[in-house]
Amino acid sequence: MATLVTACPICEGLIELRDPRKGLRVECPDCQGLWMVTSVSPLKLEVALDMENETIRADPSDEWPR
């Protein structure tokens, strides 16, 4: 399982993605911005607009909801 790290486009906090794939939605652990993976190589994130699909927390050890 690959792990990639990128900076949040808004707050520049680190977002760690385990086994990222195109279309995956993630939440920044610092600012709670919601992002969608649009490319894995290179890793690119865009604002996640359709929240009916799968959303994961960048750090799965965090409790949900806060």
Fold of 3-57: Rubrerythrin, domain 2 (2.20.28)
Please report the pLDDT score of residue 51 as a whole number.
55
Structure tokens at 5: 């790290």
Summarised one tens digit per residue, pLDDT across range 12-58 is 999 999 889 999 999 999 999 999 999 998 889 999 875 555 555 55
Residue type present at position 64: W
Ordered by start, the domain boundaries in the chain are 3-57
Q: With 90 as the cut, is the pLDDT of residue 63 above it?
A: no
Please report the pLDDT score of residue 58 as a whole number.
55
Distances (CA, A) of 52 to 10, 46, 49: 22, 16, 9
